[in-house]
């Protein structure tokens, strides 16, 4: 039994949403500012982004909480507002999702700290950080957990353990960023991730971020080849790489190219397809039309 497949109620390809940070910057978020703070200070912008993705065809909306752990929020002096900002982020996404009949994934990004022995963060302390974040997300009404853009399997395991503790019935998706010669920064290969995370009981394993659709297709092929029975595979590519255009950076892959990419992922057997940095609701709309036509 796959809890996520049961929750989705379909065997068809499922569409995730796209980038959040790019859209926040376009809405005025300063470089280095906290996007999570906008969950309370500019909730209308966050709600509008979620609504745009839902209208574009996303079946799962991801909360605006990528940097919602205590160490990440401490970079902005917000370490005492973990519960508040995560609960608010989940509540905004949930309100939009219920209007559109879709689901909400509570997004957990890396803590920014290295686990021992490379760093000073102990696995159990990492679990507590994620549990603190998840308590707020759970109160806000999430349906599932998305652990994303990870490079260290130990950190993923800590997040999975926290999810089991705080939201034991929620399906769990875990994605890593294989952006260093098709490995994560810590040397994890796609097949390694599938084997390790399936053994930890996640419902879906995959890749997000990275260097663009061509590389994501190579990664997705390795993921699907390593798939274990009952496990779903996820892929969320960046819209290429940022290029300097005038005085700002813009990603170089247009919606129609990500639509072609979505078809290629579907042919490889990827179950959940979305996008990441640089993507917009226009990209998701094009991908939806391509995979559902």
169: Cβ contacts below 8 Å, ≥ 6 apart = 3
First to last CA, the chain: 29
List strands edge to edge, sheet with 103-108: 14-15, 272-275, 232-237, 204-209, 172-176, 144-150, 103-108, 60-62
Instruction: Please state at what angle helix 43-56 crosses helix 82-100, rounded to 10 degrees.
Output: 40
Q: Has 130 been labeled as part of a binding site?
A: no
Cis bond leading into 223, ω under 30°?
no
- Asked if residues 206 and 234 have their Cβ atoms less than 8 Å apart, the reply is yes
Please name which of 157, 95, 81, 90 lies closest in space to residue 122, comparing C-alpha atoms: 157
Three-class secondary structure of residue 141 per DSSP: coil
DSSP 144: E
Q: Has 276 been labeled as part of a binding site?
A: yes
- Match 């290429």 to its residue by tokens: 240
Binding-site residue numbers for Zn(2+) are 209, 276-277
Binding-site residue numbers are 209, 276-277
């Amino acid at each position: 039994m796959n809890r996520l497949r049961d929750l989705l109620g379909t065997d068809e390809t499922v569409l995730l949403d796209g980038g959040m940070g790019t859209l926040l910057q376009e809405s005025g978020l300063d470089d280095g500012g906290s996007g999570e703070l906008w969950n309370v200070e500019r909730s209308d912008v966050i709600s509008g982004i979620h609504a745009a993705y839902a209208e574009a065809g996303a079946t799962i909306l991801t909360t605006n909480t990528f940097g919602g752990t205590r160490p990440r929020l401490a970079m902005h002096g917000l370490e005492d507002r973990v519960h508040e900002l995560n609960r608010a982020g989940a509540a905004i996404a949930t309100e939009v999702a219920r209007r559109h009949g879709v689901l909400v994934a509570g997004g957990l990004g890396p803590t920014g700290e290295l686990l021992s022995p490379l760093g000073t963060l102990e696995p159990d302390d990492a679990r507590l950080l994620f549990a603190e974040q998840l308590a707020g997300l759970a109160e806000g009404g999430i349906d599932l957990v998305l652990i994303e853009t990870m490079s260290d399997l130990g950190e993923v395991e800590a997040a999975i353990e926290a999810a089991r503790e705080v939201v034991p019935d929620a399906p769990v998706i875990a994605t890593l960023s294989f952006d260093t010669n098709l490995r994560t920064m810590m040397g994890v290969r796609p097949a390694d991730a599938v084997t390790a995370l399936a053994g930890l009981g996640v419902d879906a394993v995959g890749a997000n971020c990275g260097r663009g659709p061509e590389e994501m297709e190579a990664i997705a092929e390795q993921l699907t080849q390593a798939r274990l029975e009952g496990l779903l595979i996820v892929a969320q590519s960046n819209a290429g790489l940022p290029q300097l255009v005038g005085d700002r950076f813009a990603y170089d892959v247009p919606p129609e190219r990500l639509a072609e990419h979505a078809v290629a992922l579907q042919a490889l057997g990827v179950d959940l397809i979305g996008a990441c940095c640089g993507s917009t609701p226009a990209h998701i709309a094009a991908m939806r039309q391509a995979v559902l036509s």
